[in-house]
Amino acid sequence: MGRSVKVIVQHFDDVHTESGRVACQDLVPDDVVVSGVKKLVGIDHSHLGVLRRAVEQHQDALKLEAAFEFVHLSGPGMQPLPLLVGKEEINPAIVKAADNALKERCDLLFLSIRGNEHNVLGLVQHPRPFDFVLPTEPDISLDACSDLVPYEAVKATLARIKKPAVELITHLRGRVKCPVLVLETPPPNPSEEHISRYPGGFQEKMRSQGISPAALRYKLWRTHSAVLKEACDTIGATFIPVPSNTMNPEGFLVEKAWQREPTHGNIWYGVQVLTQLLVAAGIPFQPGDVRS
Amino acid sequence: MTHPYKSLPDSAYWRRAVASVLPANVDPVMTVPFRISPQDRVATAGSCFAQHIARYLRNNGFNFFVTEEAHPLFAREMKERYNYELFTARYGNIYTTRQLLQLFQRAYGRFRPMDDAWYCDDGSIIDPFRPQIQPSGFTSWREYELDRSQHFAAVRRAFEELDIFVFTLGLTECWVSREDGAAYPLCPGVAGGRFDPRRHEFVNFGVDEVTADMLAFIDLLREINPALRVILTVSPVPLIATMEPQHVLVSTTYSKSVLRVAAETVVHARANVAYFPSYEIITGSFSRGKYFGEDCRLVTEEGVSHVMRVFLKHFTNFVDETKAKVDSDLEAKKYLAEMEQIIQVMCDEEALDKH
């Protein structure tokens, strides 16, 4: 028999449900996990926001037996906490939030920790433009006016920036016995016009420095994914590539997935990832119409 | 009674110039044919000892000329791993004068070695003439080709725009291609490639060959940069291994002797070429070997410091340590932190929008 999805969202100290905010200590696992229902826990900084909305919007259409719990590591009223503190110790506040969600039961843990490191490196054109050759797709165009930099150096730089996120993923992998899925970050938006129109916090930088060429942003995204996949292979997590229908033939985000900012997917994109996730969890799902 | 030695300066007498002088004050330089001004673009190349010279020039306010800089995104450790800014361009160690001459010829398209690339089992590509320039080689042919093209452009710019060229002669022993004489910095098979006795040949250059190569290089360089001034040094670092059927100590003495004689010959054969005695400062018996590390091979910081103190004293009349201390590592971190902050804010906003 089908059952509606139950959604719980946790923000460190606070827990949000559809019915409102309740204190953390009021969260009784039995309220979440009904017998026979799979409990799926998602932990992220921002990329799972659309996935949660997709879950909420499709409660009627969802023919699944699942309870979702989301732990967002950024959000309303939250300071941008570092993932690591002191001598590379994972931030205790984050550990506590994750432990809260995982302490009783978890049948599938899916993660999107940070995930915008490639945009840190090159969404905005660097004052000294750079470019590199992607070894898997060496024929992608290069900006002739840029410095050519070694691919492996770019990759190592991304790995260095990504290290705190990988540390947290490693910690969470060790925390549960269930499968751990690490979701690939959405592909880059190919449209400079769209990015210019919705630059988010990059407005000032983009005005002064411009937007990196789409080909470079694509290569950086692919390299970011390579770093993440290698980390997953090492720690025993499963790297989940973006759904193929969210990419155009050149590997960029399809237009119907564009968000009104430059680095995330929209609710339609969230539905595609949710579908992919449920397939991975062995849960049937027929999404209906998407409300943006 | 009188004789010619009577009128010689103290520097001509071992007792007065060496034995009775504090080791740290031994200064074998008499005169130099030119001085380096703060504006002069100083380029460096040579064996591993030349890296010390480059480092000191950079840290003492010289206009250390770098035409192939690391991208500012990369942290200092990354720059070092990828051999950026060790020398003026990213050519790595140039041990022999033949290698230096061929670098010029290759950069200007006058020589294209047949042994052009070494393919590794993992698909990566090693540059036979810069085998250790990247820790894992180049990841694709296109990356290799474009990087090499960028490198040659940086070499050409260096040669055409430099004012002073400091070159440290390092070795006489060398491996060359039997096909076209291309000189390798390392024996094929050591850091990439496969050694093949039918294709690779050992040579130990003599004085005439080293001198001819150095003169040919200077003449080529002067054609495109007539105001060029050159400072030659000989690396005091002994051979790590010899292919000659003799003791490595004997080979070291031979090799350094050849290089020293060649340097002297070149100084006398061309104008505006100076010899700087870093070799003598490090290996001179006055230091009682303390300028060498425990392996009796690598030069200690104290030794390098002595060399560069003398260098700066004679070739310059300025030292500006403050000018050189731009922390590029800090710059890289600052840029990334700024971008991360924006991303963080954006992610927060994304969350705000969704909850």
pLDDT > 70: percent of chain B? 91
Residue A260, both tokens: 């009104």
Strand partners, A258: A265
Portion of chain B with pLDDT greater than 90, in percent: 82
Domains in chain A: how many in total? 1
Residue A15 lies in a domain: yes
Provide the token pair at A8. 């719980």
What is the 8-class DSSP label of residue B15?
I
Domain locations along chain B:
37-324, 326-355
Q: Dihedral sign for Cα B45, B46, B47, B53, please.
A: negative
Residue B148 CA, chain-centre distance (Å), reads 18
- Structure-token pair, residue B215: 């003169």
In this prediction, residue B347 carries a pLDDT of 53
User: Using the beta-carbon criterion (under 8 Å), do B345 and A156 form an inter-chain contact?
Assistant: no
Q: Are B211 and B262 in contact (CB under 8 A)?
A: yes
Please, are residues B161 and B226 in contact by the beta-carbon 8 Å criterion? no
Say if the Cβ atoms of A149 and B73 lie within 8 Å. Answer: yes
In a domain, A88, yes or no: yes
Residue A26 lies in a domain: yes
What pLDDT does residue A88 have?
Answer: 73
Q: What is the pLDDT of residue A269?
A: 93
Average pLDDT of chain B?
Answer: 91
Strand B118-119 with B125-126, pairing: antiparallel
In chain A, residues 221-250 whose CB comes closer than 8 Å to chain B = none
Q: Give the domain extent around A51.
A: 6-281
pLDDT (tens place) for every residue of chain A, 292 residues total: 333 445 555 544 333 333 222 222 222 233 333 345 678 899 888 888 888 888 888 776 665 567 888 888 875 545 556 777 776 788 888 888 888 888 878 989 999 988 889 998 989 999 999 999 999 999 999 998 999 999 999 999 999 999 989 999 999 999 999 999 999 999 999 999 999 999 988 888 898 999 999 999 999 999 999 999 999 999 999 999 999 999 999 999 999 999 998 989 999 999 899 888 888 777 766 666 555 4
Chain B residues with CB under 8 Å of A157 CB are: 73-75, 78
- Residue B65: how many CB atoms within 10 A of its CB? 22
* pLDDT value at residue A290: 53
Domain of A200, CATH number, reads: 3.40.50.1110
**Whether pLDDT at B60 is above 90:** no
- Look at residue B355 in the predicted model and tell me its pLDDT: 40
Question: Hey, is the C-beta of B136 within 8 angstroms of any chain A C-beta?
Answer: yes
pLDDT at B156 over 90: yes
Count CB atoms within 10 A of the CB of residue B197: 8
CA distances from B292 to A54, B37, B172, B280 (A): 69, 31, 21, 13
- Residue B349 forms contact with A (CB below 8 Å): yes
Q: What is the third-level CATH fold of B37-324?
A: Rossmann fold (3.40.50)
Report the pLDDT value the prediction gives residue B342, as an integer from 0 to 100. 64
Residue B224 tokens read as 């495109």
pLDDT the model gives residue A80: 52
Chain B touched by A185 (CB under 8 Å): no
Instruction: Find all residues with CB under 8 Å of A252, minimum gap 6, and list them.
Output: A187, A188, A189, A190, A214, A218
Identify which of A183, A186, A188, A132 has the alpha carbon closest to the alpha carbon of residue A157.
Answer: A132
pLDDT attached to residue B40: 94
A18, part of any domain: yes
**Which among B146, B336, B350 is the nearest to A261, CB-wise?**
B350
Q: Which residues contact A112 (CB under 8 A, 6 or more apart)?
A: A42, A43, A44, A45, A46, A47, A48, A182, A183, A185
pLDDT confidence tier of residue B56, bands split at 50, 70 and 90: confident
Backbone angles phi and psi of B31, in degrees to 5: -135, 160
Q: H-type helices in B277-327, by residue range?
A: 278-283, 301-315
Q: Does A9 contact chain B (CB < 8 Å)?
A: yes
* Cα distance between residue B103 and residue B129, in whole Å: 9
Chains A and B form CB pairs within 8 A to the count of: 132
pLDDT at position A4 is 41
Q: What is the pLDDT of residues B268-315, one digit of tens each?
A: 999 999 999 999 999 999 999 999 999 999 999 999 999 999 999 999
CB-based burial of residue A29 (10 Å sphere; 0-12 exposed, 13-18 middle, 19+ buried)? Answer: middle
